[in-house]
Amino acid sequence: MTDTGEGAYPERKRGSGVKVVYEMLRDEILDLKLPPGSPIDEVHLAERFGMSRTPIREALVRLAGEGLVETLPNRSAMVSNIDVLNLHTFYDAITLMYRVTTRLAAQYHRPADLSRIRGLQQMYAAAAAAQDALAMVAVNRDLHAAIAEAGRNPYFTTLTLRLLDEGRRILRLYYQSFDDRLPKQYVDEHEAMIAAIAARDIDLCDRLARAHADQIVRQIQQLFARDERQEIAL
């Protein structure tokens, strides 16, 4: 196997090692560069990042805490599987979190929040104009994360972030193989939600967030259904 592109890490500041490994592994897991179920070898990673196993191990423990990797005693850790059978629990959770965080954003947002949200929405519109589905997925995550932050409830924010990451992984599962186009309609839905947040219209936020979530769930289900048909067609 050729070098996977890490190169050399000649000098690191003390304490930065874990962060580097954690973020790198996290990105690779969410982008499916590390496919679900693939084993994670500590010594291999240690060689790759040019450090000892200790910081690698700490990064893995953190990732396990977020449910991105699973560990069995005395055996290799592995990237968590995507549980397609229980996707409905994901739908339920993301729908509720979209609603709650958007409502709270309407209540508690401050001017700085709105400008950040609007900046992300512009990036989202740009990605949609460029028909870049993967960029849309990534920016969509950051946009809803910003909305959740504006709601200022750390419990909901944490869960929402986890769900958004899991969603990024699920969507990636399809977009990498089918190279789809996300409907531009999402841009308008985001616009409406942001306007409702700015107007502090809580009920409207709730309705829009629910519709938005339903839309995304339907999209995933369509992809999933088509995927199943393809499998049968094979």
Partner DNA sequence: TGCATTTTATTTGTCGACAAGAAATCGACA
Partner DNA sequence: TGTCGATTTCTTGTCGACAAATAAAATGCA
Which residues are at the interface with its own copies (CB under 8 A)? Answer: 14-15, 54, 57-58, 61-62, 65-66, 73-74, 86, 89-90, 92-93, 96, 100, 104, 152-156, 158-159, 162-163
Q: Is 110 in the site for DNA (CB under 7 A)?
A: no
Residue range at the interface with DNA (CB under 7 A); choices 48-56, 121-129, 187-195, 207-215: 48-56
- Would you say the C-alpha torsion 43, 50, 67, 180 has a positive or negative sign? negative
- Burial label for 96, CB within 10 Å (0-12, 13-18, 19+), is middle
* Binding status of residue 69 toward DNA by CB under 7 A: no
162 binds DNA (CB under 7 A): no
Which entry of DNA, its own copies, none binds 52, CB below 5 to 8 A by partner kind? DNA
Min separation Cβ 54 and DNA, Å: 4
Binding mask 5-24 for DNA (x = CB under 7 A): -------xxxxxxx------
Q: How far is the CB of 156 from its own copies (least distance, A)?
A: 6
Indicate which single residue of 6, 23, 35, 53 sits in contact with DNA (rule: CB under 7 A). 53
Q: Out of DNA, its own copies, none, which partner does residue 12 contact, by CB within 5 to 8 A per kind? A: DNA
115-145 core/surface letters (b: 16 or more CB in 10 A; e: else):
ebbeebbebbbebbeeeebbbbbbbbbbbbb
Q: Could you tell me the CA-to-CA distances from 120 to 21, 108, 124, 146, 191 in Å, in that order?
A: 27, 19, 6, 9, 11
Query: Which of 6, 27, 35, 54 is close enough to bind DNA by CB under 7 A?
Result: 54
Find out whether 214 and 92 touch, Cβ atoms under 8 Å: no
The secondary structure of 171-182 as a DSSP string is HHHHHHHH----
53 binds, among its own copies, DNA, none (CB under 5 to 8 A by kind): DNA
Answer for the pair 204, 196: CB distance below 8 angstroms, yes or no: yes
Residue 33 contact partner, candidates DNA, its own copies, none, CB within 5 to 8 A by sort of partner: none
C-alpha dihedral sign at 64, 68, 73, 78: negative
In angstroms, what is the minimal distance from the CB of 209 to its own copies?
Answer: 14
Q: Which two tokens stand for residue 194?
A: 């942001």
41 vs 228 by CB, closer to DNA: 41
What is the C-alpha separation between 200 and 103, in angstroms, rounded? 8
Residue type, 50: G
In the complex, the residues that contact DNA under the rule CB under 7 A are 12-18, 40-43, 51-55, 57-58, 71, 73-77
